[in-house]
Structure formats: structure tokens, C-alpha cells
Structure 1
Amino acid sequence: MGRLDGKVAFCTASAQGIGRAAAEAFAREGAKVFATDINLEKLKELEGINGIEVRKLDVTKTEEVNALAAEIGTVDILFNCAGYVANGSVLETEEKEFDFSFDVNIKSMYRTMRAFLPKMIEAKKGSVVNMSSIVSSYKGAPNRAVYGASKAAVIGLTKCSAADFIKRNTIQLYLSGTIDSPSLRDRMKAMGDLDKAMASFLARQPTGRLGTTDEVANIAVFLGSDESSFITGSEFKVDGGWSN
């Protein structure tokens, strides 16, 4: 028996990294998973996994989110993982990139919650799991001004929504630290010296290593399962002690 048997999960940013690991973990635990991403070619790599259906989705398009929600119907787990990391201080970040960061990192969650929550409320069950970051209202990091601001907004949206729907749904929040993922590797390469970049990221980790996407996905499974039914509006920090 799987921990998520009989549940339906909807996941964003499932083509790679944490989103992909979570979609795979949900399926392993028995859920029917709708894995979505804007990168359909990469997303199709999940098609052979039992329990996973893939759908192309641009989370910045309200009409696409609403159409897919109407097609899928009621879900038990809404996992919001889409994110974008803007690099630079507030003086170095153009307004266009500021707007895009907030559109992807926070407004996408607003869109999916508005699309899926009504049926979850009607069913009087379900878990919404929103992905934030330690770099938010918890901890500052150089060159992450707009990213941190948008991830702090995720914390506010999640906690207030948990208060709004506390008797009908569990709305959860988890914050990742430095996780070894394709996105992180791309950012390291963009710094010019991969080895030097890796060393700088490792230096700030008390554990001496980066986290894995599976370690983050394990928390998502718990938050989407009935095991977390008496938890709502809480933060789960998966950061190897970075924020301690």
C-alpha cells in the first residue's frame, strides 16, 4: 500500500529538479499525478512512469491554468514548485525581470490555488504544498534581492491562505536550501568557473554537502499525505542547517 493511494496530485515545474523528483515520488506512493511544465520535450521523459500523465503548462498564463483545472477536476494534492532565480542586487535587476520573477514565483501559485481550491473546498479535503526558499524572509543572500522578495511573498500567501481555509484544507509551506539540481548547475556554470562556484556553495553548508531533490520530495510526500492532516500553515526547512 502506498502512502498516497487513491489521491490525485497536480504538480508544476515537473520537467526536472525538485518538481520532477516530487512527481516521481507521488507516483511511487500510489497517487495519480498530473505533471506539468512549459518544457514539454523534457517533461515527456516522465511518460513511461506508471501513474503519471504529462501536460504542457505555462504557469504565467491564467487561461491555461484554468483550462487545465477544468479538464482535470478535483485534486487531493496541489504542489506548486515553479520558480525563477533572478541574479543581482536591487540596483542590477531591471523592472521587466522583477515582474517576471513575481509572476512565476508567486502569482503562479495564486493562479493555481484559485483554479483548484474551490473543488478541494467542496470536497472538504486536500493539501496545497507551496515551495518557497530559505532565501526569503528567513535569510538574505547576495545577488538575490528580487528572488528573496518573491519567495518571502510565498510565505505570506501560504500562511494567510492556511488561516482562511483551516477547517477544510491543509495548506503547507516548505523552504529549500541549496539543492543539487539542473537549475543550480546552470547557475554555477553561468558564474564562469564551475569548481569555484561549487566550492562557494558548499562552504556555506554546515553539513558540507548539497541537498538532493529526493530529500526535498520526501517532505512533499509527507505534506501531501494523510500523515500531515493536523499540520497547516507550517514551514518545513530542508536546508542542511544553513538557516540555523
Structure 2
Amino acid sequence: MANPTSTHGLREGLSHTPRHHPSDRLAGETVVITGAGSGVGAETARILHAEGAHVVLNGLTPERLEAVAAELGTRVTVLPGDVTDLVYLERLAERAQAIGGGRVGVLVNNAGATIRGSLAETTPDNFMSTVELNLNGAVQLTRLLAPAMCEARQGSIVNMASITSLKGLGGAVAYTASKAGMTGVTRALAVELAPFNVRVNAVCPGVIDTPMTWEHAEAQPDPAAHYTMLRARQPMNRLASARDCALAVLFLASPDSAFITGAALPVDGGRHIA
């Protein structure tokens, strides 16, 4: 993984950290967050935990999850595993619902990866594995957790999509398809679950200042030029921070958005309209 301190001079000004003023908006709720070991997932765990939730953390790397859990202290459960493994998802759903007294209040489907590849590089295996990770895992976990939400007539599901689902991204065919699918699933489920007072929304980030972005940038021939290009593409002249995205998740997860469902909220500084 790239070391952010080694690139501080290049990254300076790329993003900023907005303020968060906790107010117990999720007190007493159990929240499942997939892909919670770093980046947006870890920051979402911090933000929702600060709002009073018990957070259940999923990810592939136990050490990263344990580090986040140690930072949070109480009201946190670590359940590492692969979201493409249905047997694991069944165990995750059973455990999380037991923690929540029979239901989960909020599900954040954040697990995924930015997998690049042109049309020529998009083999059947490449395409299906990308969709399995970025889309089907979220669909199957939602299938397992939504019935109890519907029975309780209360719940919020927040899916991590991308501005590529709104704008398209050349050279990332399978990734763009998976994120467009996430937006489509969000809207379909919003209609299906609305009669049960269960809301389903999506966050659509642009380029985020995270370790994944650092790794990709530092693999380029000229990382400094790459960072400059990333910033120049954004109308607000910076990248999203992980906290920008986490605060959008909080808004959609909390009662503040009680009459919002089926939304695909861009968090991209205007990139999708530029």
C-alpha cells in the first residue's frame, strides 16, 4: 500500500475533512457496513458509531477491521469474510440480526473494488467476478436482511455506487456496469420496499482521496502529474474525502432523510455534470 506520508506534498489540497457534529441520530441501531477496513468504509464506521450505532464491520482483512474496532472501543463487532461467499453472508446476517434484537436498522453496502479494463480486456470471467463483488454481494446481503426490516416497518439501506453509473468511464467496462447495476438495484428496491417504510438509496462518489487512489496514482509514470490531473478534472478543484462520502451515508441512513428513497446522490464536486 502506498504510504500517504510519502506523498503528502503531492496530495496537499486534494481534499479536505469536513466537520461532523454527532447528535445520536442512530442511537440504539445496529448497522452493518461491508468493506469497512479502510477508506470510506472505515470512515463510515467512525461516523455512524459516533451517532450512537452498534457497528458490525465486514472486510477481507481481519487486522484492518480489528484496528478500526480498537479505535471505536465499544459497540462494535468484527465479522471478517468475503461478500461473494453466500454461506458467509448467511452467518453475517444471522449474527448481525441477533445483535440488533432481531433486525438490522441500517445496511451500508460498501464492499467493492475499482477494477479497470477495456472492452478487449473484459473476458467473461473478468466481467462476472467484478459484478459478483461489486453488485451481487450487496444484493444477496440485502435479500437476507431486508425481510426483518420490512416486518419491523423500519430500515435504511445505503448502497455505494459511483458517478460512473451516471456518467460512464472508458477503460472500465465491467466496473461501470457493476455500478450502473447498483444504481438500478437501488431504484428497484426503493419501489419494492417503500410500502414497508424501508428506504433504499445510493451514494455516487467521484474520485476519492483514499489508499486505493494513492496506489493507482503512484503506479503511474509521473504521480505528481497524475494528482494534478485528478484535481483539475473536478469543478471544485479537489477530490472527495472519505468523510465527504461517510457524511452522505449518514444523511441517507438517518431520520434526516426519512422521506427520501430511490435517490442516487452524487458526491463528486460536480464532476457528473462537468
Q: What interval of TM-score do these two structures reach, taking the shorter chain for normalisation?
A: over 0.9
The counterpart of 1:45, out of the listed 63, 67, 90, is: 67
Secondary structure of the corresponding residue to residue 265 of structure 2: strand
Q: Which amino acid aligns with 1:95?
A: P
Aligned residue number for residue 71 of structure 1? 95
Q: CA deviation at 1:231?
A: 0.7
Contact 1:46–1:52 under 8 Å retained in 2: no
* 1:21 equivalenced with 2:40 (yes/no): no
Secondary structure of the corresponding residue to residue 180 of structure 1: coil
Aligned residue number for residue 55 of structure 1? 79
Aligned residue number for residue 171 of structure 2? 143
Q: Which amino acid aligns with 2:34?
A: T
Spell out, residue by residue over 1:129-170, the C-alpha distance to the aligned partner (whole angstroms, 9 max, x if none).
Answer: 00100012x112231221111100001111001101112101
Distance of 1:211 and 1:85 partners within structure 2: 16
Distance of 1:201 and 1:153 partners within structure 2: 25
Could you tell me the TM-score, scaled by structure 1's length?
A: 0.96
Root-mean-square deviation over aligned CA pairs: 1.2
Q: Larger % of strand: which?
A: 1
Q: Post-superposition, which runs of at least 4 consecutive aligned residues in structure 1 deviate over 3 A?
A: none
Secondary structure of the corresponding residue to residue 185 of structure 2: helix
Q: Larger % of helix: which?
A: 2
Aligned residue number for residue 12 of structure 1? 34
- Consecutive unaligned residues of structure 2, counting only runs of 5 or more, are 1-22, 98-102
* 1:216 equivalenced with 2:240 (yes/no): no
Distance of 2:32 and 2:190 partners within structure 1: 19
- Consecutive unaligned residues of structure 1, counting only runs of 5 or more, are none
Q: CA deviation at 1:210?
A: 0.7
Q: CA deviation at 1:77?
A: 0.2
Contact 1:87–1:93 under 8 Å retained in 2: no
Spell out, residue by residue over 1:89-135, the C-alpha distance to the aligned partner (whole angstroms, 9 max, x if none).
Answer: 11123322211110011101111101111111111100000010001
Aligned residues: 243
* 1:111 equivalenced with 2:135 (yes/no): no
Spell out, residue by residue over 1:63-105, the C-alpha distance to the aligned partner (whole angstroms, 9 max, x if none).
Answer: 1001111122110000000112121211123322211110011
Distance of 1:85 and 1:70 partners within structure 2: 29
Distance of 1:155 and 1:110 partners within structure 2: 12
Distance of 2:269 and 2:155 partners within structure 1: 29
Q: Which amino acid aligns with 1:229?
A: A
Instruction: Report the identity percentage.
Output: 32
The answer to which of 201-210 and 12-21 deviates more is 201-210
Contact 1:18–1:217 under 8 Å retained in 2: yes
Distance of 1:142 and 1:188 partners within structure 2: 17
Q: Which amino acid aligns with 2:261?
A: T
